[in-house]
């Protein structure tokens, strides 16, 4: 049995070692453009699928006040003020996972008790 396996190995590896050749690979001219567009789409999709924390929903005057207050307490966290009929909303941070969002929310909830995690 061992001799037969050696014979097969010799035939297999012998035939592989005996083959020679060159490989010519031709790439399409617009490959770099296609890859750049794909990367941009993936980045945009990734940003859409990130968790965020909403700390406020209401009128514009209160939104400005809460935005200023948030930036004072958490200057390192990105905050966005948006309008979705009929309210202004403040959403902060971008988190790839729910766990990251929940971890960040622990500190934020101390100053903004109505904060909640969402996946827009």
Q: Where are the domains of the chain?
A: 50-118
Mean pLDDT of the chain: 85
The predicted model gives 27-33 an average pLDDT of 83
Strands 116-118 and 51-58: antiparallel
Tell me how far CA of residue 103 lies from CA of 30, 90, 99, 117, in angstroms. 43, 19, 6, 10
Q: What pLDDT sits at residue 56?
A: 96
User: What percent helix, strand, coil does the chain show, rounded to 5?
Assistant: 50, 20, 25
pTM: 0.62
CATH 3.30.70.1070 fits 50-118, yes or no: yes
Q: What is the pLDDT of residues 40-66, one digit of tens each?
A: 887 777 666 799 999 999 999 999 999
SS3 (DSSP) at 66? helix
| Average pLDDT for 96-116 | 94
Give the pLDDT of residue 69. 96
70 and 110 in contact (C-beta within 8 Å)? no
């Amino acid at each position: 049995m061992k001799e037969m396996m050696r014979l097969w190995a010799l035939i297999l590896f012998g035939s592989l070692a005996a083959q020679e050749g060159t490989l010519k690979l031709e790439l399409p001219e617009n490959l770099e453009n296609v890859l750049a567009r794909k990367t941009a789409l993936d980045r945009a999709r990734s940003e859409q699928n990130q968790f965020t924390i909403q700390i406020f929903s209401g009128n514009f005057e209160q939104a400005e006040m809460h935005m200023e207050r948030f930036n004072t307490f958490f200057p390192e966290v990105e905050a966005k003020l948006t309008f979705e009929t009929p309210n202004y909303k403040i959403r902060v941070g971008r988190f790839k996972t729910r766990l990251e969002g929940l971890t960040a929310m622990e500190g934020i909830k101390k100053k903004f008790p109505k904060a909640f995690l969402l996946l827009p």
